Structure 1
Amino acid sequence: MTMLKTLIKDRNGETRHSRKPWTKFINADNQHLAVPEAIDFLDKLLRYDHQERPTAKEAMAHPYFYPVRNAESSRTRA
């Protein structure tokens, strides 16, 4: 089976592969995990160009981690 690749030109004239939307990878087994924050977080982390990816600090500040931070701050206040 051959893999169909669609090439596009970016703003700098460089050739890149087109991206599939992450929602195409959602199925019955992982649908409960595919909240919008998770999709956005993965989209930002899985960038081909390393300069487009967030730093570790920026990644940890992503809204995906708000529930964890809120739980931590609640525990420290108690």
Structure 2
Amino acid sequence: MAKNQSQEPEKPAPVTVLEVPNFVVTEQPKKEIPQLKRGEVLVSEIDENGNEQNYFVSNQKTFDDFYSKNPKFKLKKK
């Protein structure tokens, strides 16, 4: 037997917004660029807008084999 499926799409639950008195927005501390050891490179991940999001350390061979083929990653520092 086939299940009865309703033709109407499910409506999402309404979102409630909480108001917090005396809320202060603070800046998040920026991560410092890590110190690189011999043979390591710093790779940056780029989002859709072209902004650098994350940094991580890799070695040159891994970057050449995998990350350099993807435009989402770029070499930040040798």
TM category (shorter chain) comes to: under 0.3
Answer 1 or 2: which has greater helix percent: 1
Over alpha carbons, which structure has the higher Rg?
2
Answer 1 or 2: which has greater strand percent: 2
- Given the two structures, how large is their TM-score scaled by the length of structure 1? 0.21
- Given the two structures, how large is their TM-score scaled by the length of structure 2? 0.21
Higher RCO (C-alpha 8 Å, min separation 6): 2
